[in-house]
Amino acid sequence: MLIGSISASARDGDAKPYRIFHPDIAPWGDSTSHDGFVVRIVETAFERAGLDYEVVYAPWKREQAAVQQQQYAFMAPLTRIESRETLYQWIAPVNISYLELVTNNPDLAAQNIDDLRDFPVAARMESPAEFTLRDLGFRSITLVEDEEVAARLLKAGRVTLWMQRGLPGRWAHSMSGGHASELFKIKRWTTPEQYLVASPGVPQDVVEKLRDILTTMRTSGEIDRIKQSYFDEQLPCELMIGCSHTLNEQKVAHP
């Protein structure tokens, strides 16, 4: 367990600090550097709320179970989908991403998905990547804890396809020694926003305080600026949660 910085407590002096389960999935978060754009967004919100917290990096599936079961726990970023709706308190969106089915075999890139269902494919377990592949009828799915394992499987020829989560997938591919030109996109899917979530037992006033802070960070563009600071290339609006919200609001106002 890795302990985060401490700020003024919003609970009784003898109370235990809140526990934040951070992603060990670069560039969202990284247990070695204790950094990442989601880590910074969430910890900034906690510090402004004056909440004591401690930080934990654990396998993704274990983190989800822990937040459901513990009384004062949080995690991010978690995609808001129907099957998860009643398991957490959904505080505010902190990231937007996409799913992409890729291959390192250019001959497969132009094929229809219906013709690829028997090809071995890697995906992160208990994630929209896994759920989407099952909905599509893929029959040979290798489930992994993180994108780096999937990248190594693809590079070693253990799988032919990879359902990756956007930026973390590309990051993992580069960390495994791969180059962007070696990946060929088959199809991309937009996904629901990714949230900071809380255990059911977290007090409502804490949820509201964090929600207000994160909403202000989003509408002021601060979340987008934090995310962009982790990349040399300019990220498109579709990957910037503040920008995408503004664009959608403009579309509603001027259909």
| Structural domain spans, the chain | 18-96+192-253, 98-190
Residue 220: which of 252, 248, 245 has the closest Cα? 245
Structure confidence at residue 4 (pLDDT): 41
Token pair in block for residue 152: 């190594």
Q: Are 79 and 194 in contact, with CB atoms under 8 Å apart?
A: yes
Task: Please tell me the predicted confidence (pLDDT) of residue 249.
Answer: 60
| pLDDT value of residue 1 | 46
What's the mean pLDDT in 35-47?
97
Q: What distance in Å separates the CA atoms of residue 194 and residue 177, rounded to the nearest whole number?
A: 28
pLDDT of 246 higher than 80? no
Query: Model confidence over 137-171: pLDDT tens digits?
Result: 999 999 998 899 999 999 999 999 999 988 888 88
Provide the pairing of β-strand 194-198 with 73-79.
antiparallel
The answer on pLDDT for 175 being more than 90 is no
Q: What percent of the chain has pLDDT over 70?
A: 91
Strand (E) or helix (H) holding 95 = strand 89-95
pLDDT in tens, 209-233: 999 999 999 999 999 999 999 998 8
Average pLDDT, the chain: 89
Superfamily in which the 98-190 domain is placed by CATH: Periplasmic binding protein-like II (3.40.190.10)
What is the per-residue pLDDT for 171?
87
Tell me the two tokens of residue 79.
Answer: 């995609």
Residue 38 is predicted with a pLDDT of 97
pLDDT digits (tens, 9 = 90+) for 68-90: 998 899 999 999 999 999 999 99
Q: What is the pLDDT of residue 245?
A: 78
pLDDT at 135 over 90: yes
Tokens matching residue 39: 């880590």
Supply the pLDDT for residue 146: 86
At 160, list the tokens.
């032919």
The pLDDT assigned to 248 comes to 64
Annotation: CATH topology of 18-96+192-253 = D-Maltodextrin-Binding Protein; domain 2 (3.40.190)
* Domains 18-96+192-253 and 98-190 are alike in CATH topology: yes
Spell out a b/e string for 228-253, using b for 16 or more CB atoms within 10 Å of the CB, else e.
Answer: bebeeeeeeeebbbbbbbbeeeeeee
C-alpha 121/C-alpha 186 separation (Å) is 13
pLDDT for 20 = 97
pLDDT of residue 176: 86
Amino acid at 94: V
Cβ neighbours for 34, distance < 8 A, ≥ 6 positions apart: 2, 55
Confidence (pLDDT) at 12: 47
